[in-house]
A and B are shown apart, each in its own frame.
Chain A
Amino acid sequence: MSAAAATTETKPSPPPVEKIRIKVDGREIEVPKLMPDWQGKLQPTTMLQACALAGVEVPHYCYHPKLPVAGNCRMCLVEFGLPLIGPDRKPVLNEDGTTKIAKQVLPYEPTTVRGAIACATPISTGMEIYPGSPATRQMRESVLEFLLINHPLDCPICDQAGECKLQEYSVDYGQSASRFVEAKVHKPKAVDLGPRIVLDDERCILCSRCVRFTKDIVGDDALGFVNRGSYSTLTHFPGKPFDNNYTLNTVDICPVGALTSKDFRFQMRVWFLKQTKSICTSCGTGCNIVIGSREEKIYRYEPRQNDAVNSCWMCDAGRLNYKWVGREDRLVKCGVRNPERGMKDASWVAALNEIADRLKKAPAGSVAIVASARQTNEELWLLSKLKAKLSATSDSVPRIGEGDKLLVNVDKNPNSYGARLTGVAADPMGSSLPKIADGIRGGGIKTLIVFGEDVTKHGIGAELLGKLETLIVSDILPSQTTELAHYLLPGCAHAEKRGTFTNIKGRVQKLMKAVEPRGDGRPEWEFLHDLVYNVTGQNGFVSIEGLFNQMVKEVPAFNGLTWAGLGDLGVAVRI
Chain B
Amino acid sequence: MNFAVPTELETEIDELITHYPQKRSASLMALHALQGHFGWISREAIEWIAQKLELLPINIYELVTFYPMFRTNPVGKYQIKVCRTLSCALGGSYKLHEYLCQKLGLDSNAQSLQTTKDGKFSVEFVECLASCGTAPVMMCNDDFYEGVTAPKADEILTKCK
- Interface on A for B, CB 8 Å cutoff? 221-228, 235-240
Contacts and interface: CB of A to CB of B under 8 A. Distances in A.
Shortest 8 CB-CB contacts between residues of A and residues of B: A226-B65, A224-B58, A237-B57, A237-B58, A224-B62, A221-B56, A227-B65, A228-B66
Interface in B39-63: 43, 46, 55-59, 61-62
A224 B59 contact: yes
Contacts, number: 32
A226 B43 CA distance: 14
B1 to A, nearest CB: 12
A239 B43 contact: yes
A223 B59 CA distance: 9
Interface of B: 43, 46, 55-59, 61-62, 65-66
Contacts of A240: 57-58
Contacts of A227: 65-66
Given A237-B57, A240-B57, A225 B62 contact: yes
Contact of A238 (B43, B55, B59, B62): B43
A473 to B, nearest CB: 51
Contacts of B46: 237
Nearest to A227: B65
9 contacts: A221-B59, A222-B58, A223-B58, A224-B59, A224-B62, A225-B62, A226-B61, A227-B65, A228-B65
Contacts of A221: 55-56, 58-59
Contacts of B57: 237, 240
Contacts of B56: 221-222, 237
A489 B43 CA distance: 59
Contacts of A236: 58
A346 B131 CA distance: 95
Nearest to B55: A221
Contacts of B55: 221
A152 to B, nearest CB: 22
A221 B58 CA distance: 8
B130 to A, nearest CB: 21
Nearest to A242: B58
A46 B46 CA distance: 38
A226 B63 CA distance: 8
Contacts of A237: 46, 56-58, 61
A65 to B, nearest CB: 25
B142 to A, nearest CB: 25
Nearest to B68: A228
A221 to B, nearest CB: 5
Contacts of B61: 224, 226, 237-238
Contacts of A223: 58
A237 to B, nearest CB: 4
Contacts of A224: 58-59, 61-62
A169 B99 CA distance: 51
A222 B50 CA distance: 13
Contacts of B62: 224-226
